[in-house]
Amino acid sequence: MAKKILLISPDFPPPFIGGSLIWMHSLVSNSKFSFDVLSSNNFDKLDSPNIKVIKSKYICNSNNPSRLNLLLNYIYLFYWCFKEFKKDKYEVIISNPGLVGNCIIFFVGKIFKKKVIGTIYGEELTIPLSGKGLKNRTKVLLLKFFYSYANSFISVCHFAKRILRHNNINQNIFIIPPIGKVKIKKKSFNEPPVILSVGRLIKRKGFDKLIIAIANNKKKINDLKLNIVGSGPEYQNLKKLIKSYNAENYIKIFTDVNKKELENFYKKSHLFILANSMLKNGDTEGCPVVFIEAMSYMLPVIGGLGGGVDTAIKDGKNGYILNTDKIDLLTNKIYMLLNNLTLIKKMSNESIKKLKTDHDVEKSSNYFDQIIEEIKV
């Protein structure tokens, strides 16, 4: 009987707006291997023939868990791994529960000589490396010591790879960018301009800067609209900001949409923007999956500095990478694009080329399986 691959990951299957969680789910769902997935018990049962989800109430989800939940999560993770790794059941283990969880799995894997692939994204590394206090210093020590125990890593972006190399982690680091399929055969950009932004409503996503840039442009582009799709702790602050610009009729936030509704937002948009940046505490983006989703709907994309955006956006080709803290720069770039239909169409075509070259489902899935095959040997 062939051995399975084990994935340890919270929130599996993920919500359809789930960033890095969607990335891992896509890779596993399209793999030729059979997986056991140790996860939290927050979501419905997954209907997939090659995936068996082992749900535990002690594995906490990634949405603002309490300190007690995290502590129980780490204790249980150590116990479960110690118990299961003694068995000869899994050929390869993929670790996806964040920095501390990774360290626990790397350590137990080292004890039992298991082949463990770690996952890296960006913010789980930059926050402790940039932050202050005992908690962050402890995480940095764990990173520098236990990450060397992993057999190799897969990353969603080159940015995260550069961070590990800078911290003398020398194992193989394989880059598998987020994946997507072309959703529209031909797109019309002749309707009144609509801009879309999608993501959790948190500070690093830069929705406040985008709102101001749109309000600035509304003075020059009368029929301009912005749709923001997402929920999160910044919701009330963003609503107040929209109201302060008297922009309620052309800037709207949609907090509860289903998959079909999200698809319609992409289809009706002309341009996708995530005005992300790195915060002072190191909080930042890896390679946001929303860029790939937008590209699959033939949209030009604009993103910010300070993370792994350069894995998705070729600056000046399928979009722009800007210092979004400079709101005037963001404002002017939006105005320039929306007044150059030829350039928008050209960047739309470049988005499709980039998607097919670097984010193709079949190519990425085959590469993922190839990495697992190499680790198994």
Q: Are residues 198 and 99 in the same domain?
A: no
For position 5, what pLDDT does the model report?
Answer: 96
- What's the pLDDT score for residue 107? 98
Confidence of residue 190 (pLDDT cuts 50, 70, 90): confident
44 inside domain: yes
What DSSP string describes 25-79?
Answer: HHHHHT-SS-EEEEEES-SPPP--TTEEEEEETTS--SSS--HHHHHHHHHHHHH
**Is residue 36 within 8 Å of residue 90, measured between CB atoms?**
yes
Specify whether 156 is located in the same domain as 223: no
Stretch among 8-17, 49-58, 113-122 having the lowest mean pLDDT:
8-17
Percent of the chain with pLDDT over 70: 95
Residue 95's pLDDT is 97
Average pLDDT value over all residues in the chain: 92
Res. 42 pLDDT band, cuts 50 70 90? low
Tell me: do 349 and 302 sit in the same domain.
yes
354 with 372, same domain: the answer is: no
Alpha helices in the chain (DSSP H): 20-29, 67-85, 99-111, 123-130, 134-146, 158-166, 207-218, 235-244, 259-267, 289-296, 327-338, 341-358, 361-376
Q: Of 29, 325, 83, nearest to 204 (Cα)?
A: 325
User: What CATH code is carried by the domain that includes residue 130?
Assistant: 3.40.50.2000
At residue 281, does pLDDT exceed 80?
yes
The answer on 102 and 225 residing in a single domain is no
Contact 20, 311 (CB under 8 A): no
Q: What percent of the chain has pLDDT over 90?
A: 81
Inform me whether the pLDDT recorded for 16 exceeds 60.
no
Separation CA 51–CA 29 (nearest Å)? 8
Nearest to 146 by CA among 123, 162, 134, 128: 128
Average pLDDT over residues 187-207: 93
Q: How confident is the model at residue 12 (pLDDT cuts 50, 70, 90)?
A: confident
Residue 21 lies in a domain: yes
User: What is the per-residue pLDDT for 241?
Assistant: 98
Q: Is residue 184 part of a domain?
A: no
Contact 271/261 with Cβ under 8 angstroms? no
Q: Are residues 232 and 367 in the same domain?
A: no
Whether 202 has a pLDDT exceeding 90, the answer reads: yes
Pair of tokens at residue 213? 């840039």
Q: What domain range includes position 276?
A: 194-358
- 313 and 348 assigned to the same domain: yes
pLDDT at site 280: 92
Question: 23 and 120: one domain?
Answer: yes
Q: Give the C-alpha separation, 78 to 86, whole Å.
A: 12
Kindly list the distances between the CA atom of residue 315 and the CA atoms of 154, 188, 229, 309, 319, in Å, as whole numbers in the listed order.
24, 23, 24, 10, 6
Residue 20: inside a domain: yes
Question: Is there a contact between 172 and 137 (Cβ–Cβ < 8 Å)?
Answer: no
* Neighbouring residues of 128: CB distance < 8 A, sequence distance ≥ 6: 99, 135, 136, 137, 139, 140, 143, 282
Has residue 46 got a pLDDT over 80?
A: no
Kindly report the pTM of this predicted structure. Answer: 0.90
pLDDT at 109 exceeding the cut of 60: yes
Q: Are residues 198 and 160 in the same domain?
A: no
Q: How confident is the model at residue 45 (pLDDT cuts 50, 70, 90)?
A: low
Asked if pLDDT for residue 62 goes beyond 90, the answer is no
Q: Is residue 301 part of a domain?
A: yes
Kindly write down the DSSP assignment for every residue of 177-205, as one continuous string: ---B----SS----SSPEEEEES---GGG
For residue 188, tell me if it sits in a domain.
no
Is pLDDT at 317 greater than 60 in this prediction? yes
pLDDT at 126 over 70: yes
Whole-angstrom distance, CA of residue 13 vs CA of residue 52: 11
Instruction: Tell me, yes or no, whether 166 and 61 share the same domain.
Output: yes
101 and 43 in a common domain:
yes
- Residue 312 in any domain: the answer is yes
Number of domains in the chain: 2
In-domain check, residue 222: yes
Q: Are residues 175 and 203 in the same domain?
A: no
pLDDT-based confidence at residue 17 (cuts at 50, 70, 90): low
Mean pLDDT of 149-171: 96
